[in-house]
């Protein structure tokens, strides 16, 4: 168990920690010279069961609240120290308010310096403390009158702490991936760079690879755990809820690491500059304004930012609100992390809350659907949240993003996807999840889109894949659409003629007159397959009126025998298929197809130029066979390119 002190300056927090552990937690020369705590201090004491009781001693000065918050973020148990002669003082109240906002519910009060007061004053101080705790998460917690200097009452408090440590402590998520908030970094002879902090989740062991992030100057730092101390003892492995010192090796220096950074499993190194959350404004605070400038205390970090209110225009004292926190620099966070907001001058606490979503949308942040989802996230029911997310989005849910945001290991994530009954679809290196009802709705939308298009243009063979995807759901990823279309094709609900998808009972017929005329004109196109004559050139060569040629070629294109590569420039289906194979070969050999390379291959005899080669590549982009990357064209790697070739 990790115990964190709290309380006003000079009420004896550090002295009490020394009385409980024998360790002076003040480690800085300035602290020892001035007799006040300036930064976080640490001490440890053995337990009867072989475990270790850890202490984080925090400064009590009003100007050092940022240090206090950096220490309080990782504790299990609060030890609120109040001097009996002074009673509750400003930082007693402020620390208690901060601990309440951080969601800490277990603790005890040490009523210190009883040797300096009369019995009457001791009773008064006890009553003042009980009144202060009323209405907070620590209301009713045990109170121990004691003298940290003289030792009276210290043994009773220590016995209580030992008993609390022996109880089943609500542990953090040991099953998740490892993450530790750094509160100290130093160099040690023989060990190299050492970082310390409280593990918020997961496990770590010697030899593990971890990432240190965010590192503003150099980006995320890759490191290997050389060795570790857990609760001040050498250990092969550390876990969530323990204070851990990690000796790290890697291509970095001590100067690259600072308090506020995280040591995490590489999969969790996802920096962010905004997140959605819920917060509560203390009853004694001022109203929280929309876009108010704040200090955001998250993990062991203090970052300037702004708070955007999502479900109200002003958050009144004592009220709760849904918010978007906008940060001035990157940090790491996961769903459920606690944060505290202080005013722009870092003089007073304005709110505290929990992270709900680390990858929020950029649009429609205040829509009814979005607020409903945030409301469900508040309840911490992962299954209910996932079911609502999949019902709300036709484009599916990025399951890899969800697994990171909720810190789920692969086995736990798969179990959740199964419980939710998700339809899982691979999309590149990622995975999308769809509710069964949503997947069925997408199938209906696809079939309805085809039916509408057949009614609008009965003389068209069907709809090209990319256009049909946009007609079905514009934000549906191509990989998911291909799976959906493939299922409908396999079931016979959709048919395919070359590049066009259509309903099975839809057919386009070409009149005998059109067929006869096309038989006369097609040799002109075949003669220069990769640069066929344009409509006006066919007119000049054959004498067939230009508009007659144009309308005929359009009808033949609807039947799939020609392709309109550019305006009034029709290529035969055979020529386009051959060009697609050439583009695929160029892309495989050179990483991409370029207009100059394509021109050199297909117009080696000088029959065409770069302009036509560009038009061919742009045509392939347009139909979804390739995608443009600056001035290059790459065959789509999700199978769409090969599928197009297989059906043409």
10-32 burial: b if 16+ Cβ within 10 Å, else e:
bbbbbbbbbbbbebebbbeeebe
Both 233 and 302 in one domain: the answer is no
Q: What is the CATH number of the domain that holds 444?
A: 1.10.10.10
pLDDT digits (tens, 9 = 90+) for 226-266: 999 999 899 999 999 899 999 999 888 888 899 999 999 99
pLDDT digits (tens, 9 = 90+) for 384-415: 999 999 888 788 899 999 999 999 999 999 99
Both 46 and 147 in one domain: the answer is yes
Name 569's Cβ contacts closer than 8 Å, sequence gap at least 6: 532, 534, 535, 612, 615
Q: Is 471 exposed, middle or buried (0-12, 13-18, 19+ CB in 10 A)?
A: middle
Both 453 and 545 in one domain: the answer is no
Question: Has residue 421 been placed in a domain?
Answer: no
Name 583's Cβ contacts closer than 8 Å, sequence gap at least 6: 593, 598, 616, 617, 620, 625, 626, 633, 635
Both 51 and 105 in one domain: the answer is yes
The whole-angstrom separation of Cα 94 and Cα 100 is 10
- 14 lies in which domain range? 2-166
The upper half-sphere exposure of residue 24, i.e. CA atoms within 13 Å in the direction of its Cβ, equals: 10
Both 599 and 518 in one domain: the answer is yes
Is residue 270 a contact partner of residue 398, using CB atoms and an 8 Å limit? no
What band does 3 get if pLDDT is binned at 50, 70 and 90?
Answer: very high
Residue 324: strand pairing partners: 276, 308
- Out of 159-173, 335-349, 440-454, 565-579, which region has the weakest mean confidence (pLDDT)? 159-173
Both 12 and 155 in one domain: the answer is yes
pLDDT digits (tens, 9 = 90+) for 260-303: 999 999 999 999 999 999 999 998 889 999 999 999 999 999 99
Both 618 and 520 in one domain: the answer is yes
Question: Has residue 395 been placed in a domain?
Answer: no
* Number of domains comprising the chain: 5
Name 156's Cβ contacts closer than 8 Å, sequence gap at least 6: 144, 146
pLDDT digits (tens, 9 = 90+) for 322-366: 999 999 999 999 999 999 999 999 889 999 999 999 999 988 999
Last residue of a domain, one of 324, 357, 390: 357
483 token code pair: 């799976």
Q: What is the CATH number of the domain that holds 283?
A: 2.40.30.10
Both 46 and 138 in one domain: the answer is yes
Instruction: Taking the CA atoms of 326, 327, 332 and 337 in sequence, report the sign of the dihedral they define.
Output: negative
The whole-angstrom separation of Cα 431 and Cα 428 is 8
Q: Is 277 exposed, middle or buried (0-12, 13-18, 19+ CB in 10 A)?
A: buried
Both 347 and 493 in one domain: the answer is no
Q: How many Å from the N-terminal Cα to the C-terminal Cα in the chain?
A: 67
Both 97 and 24 in one domain: the answer is yes
Residue 110: strand pairing partners: 81, 144
What is the reported pTM? 0.77
Question: Has residue 429 been placed in a domain?
Answer: no
């Amino acid at each position: 168990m990790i115990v964190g002190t709290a309380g006003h300056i000079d009420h004896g927090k550090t002295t009490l920690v020394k009385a409980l552990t024998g360790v002076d937690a003040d480690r800085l020369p300035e602290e020892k010279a001035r007799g006040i705590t300036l930064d976080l201090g640490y001490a440890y004491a053995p337990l009867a069961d072989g475990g270790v009781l850890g202490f984080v001693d925090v400064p009590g000065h009003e100007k050092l609240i940022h240090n206090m918050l950096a220490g309080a973020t990782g504790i299990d148990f609060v030890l609120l120290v109040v001097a009996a002669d002074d009673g509750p003082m400003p930082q007693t109240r402020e620390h208690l308010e901060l601990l309440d906002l951080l969601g800490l519910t277990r603790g005890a009060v040490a009523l210190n310096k009883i040797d300096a007061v009369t019995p009457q004053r001791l009773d008064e101080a006890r009553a003042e403390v009980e009144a202060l705790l009323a209405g907070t998460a620590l209301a009713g917690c045990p109170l121990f009158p004691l003298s940290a200097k003289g030792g009276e009452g210290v043994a009773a408090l220590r016995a209580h702490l030992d008993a609390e440590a022996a109880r089943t402590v609500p542990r953090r998520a040991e099953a998740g991936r490892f993450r530790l908030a750094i509160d100290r970094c130093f160099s040690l002879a023989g060990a190299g760079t050492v970082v310390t902090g409280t593990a918020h989740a997961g496990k770590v062991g010697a030899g593990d690879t971890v990432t240190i992030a965010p590192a503003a100057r150099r980006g995320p730092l890759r490191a290997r755990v050389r060795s570790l101390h857990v609760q001040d003892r050498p250990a092969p492995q550390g876990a969530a809820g323990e204070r851990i010192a990690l000796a790290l090796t890697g291509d970095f220096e001590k100067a690259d690491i600072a308090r506020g950074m995280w040591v995490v499993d590489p999969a969790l190194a996802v920096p962010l500059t905004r997140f959605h959350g819920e917060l509560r404004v203390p009853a004694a605070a001022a109203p929280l304004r929309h876009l108010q400038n704040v200090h955001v205390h998250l993990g062991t970090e203090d970052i300037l930012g702004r708070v955007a209110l999502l479900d109200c225009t002003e958050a009144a004292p004592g009220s709760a609100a849904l918010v978007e926190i906008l940060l001035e620099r990157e940090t790491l966070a996961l769903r459920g992390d606690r944060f505290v907001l202080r005013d722009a001058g870092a003089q007073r606490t304005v709110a505290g809350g929990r992270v709900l979503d680390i990858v929020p949308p950029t649009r429609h942040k205040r829509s009814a659907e979005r607020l409903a989802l945030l409301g469900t996230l508040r309840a911490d029911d992962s299954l209910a949240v996932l079911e609502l997310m999949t019902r709300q989005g036709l484009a599916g849910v990025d399951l890899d993003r969800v697994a990171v945001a909720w810190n789920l290991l692969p086995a736990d994530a798969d179990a959740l996807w199964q419980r939710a009954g998700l339809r899982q679809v691979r999309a590149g290196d990622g995975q999308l999840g769809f509710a069964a009802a949503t997947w069925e709705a997408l199938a209906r939308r696809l079939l309805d889109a085809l039916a509408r298009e057949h009614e609008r243009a009965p003389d068209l063979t069907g709809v090209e894949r990319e256009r049909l995807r946009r007609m079905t759901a514009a934000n549906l990823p191509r990989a998911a659409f291909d799976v959906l279309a493939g299922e409908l094709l396999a079931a016979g609900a959709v048919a395919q003629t070359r590049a066009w998808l259509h309903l099975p009972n839809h057919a386009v017929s070409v009149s005998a007159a059109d067929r006869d005329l096309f038989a006369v004109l097609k040799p002109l196109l075949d003669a220069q397959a990769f640069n066929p004559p344009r409509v006006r050139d066919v007119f000049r060569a054959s004498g067939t009126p230009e508009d007659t040629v144009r309308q005929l070629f359009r009808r033949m294109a609807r039947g799939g025998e020609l392709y309109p590569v550019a305006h009034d420039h029709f290529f035969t289906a055979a020529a386009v298929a051959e060009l697609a194979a050439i583009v695929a070969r160029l892309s495989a050999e050179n990483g991409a197809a370029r207009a100059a390379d394509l021109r050199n291959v297909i117009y080696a005899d000088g029959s065409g130029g770069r302009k036509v080669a560009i038009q061919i590549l742009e045509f392939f982009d347009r139909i979804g066979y390739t995608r443009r990357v600056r001035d290059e064209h790459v065959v789509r790697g999700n199978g769409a390119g090969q599928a197009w070739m297989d059906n043409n």
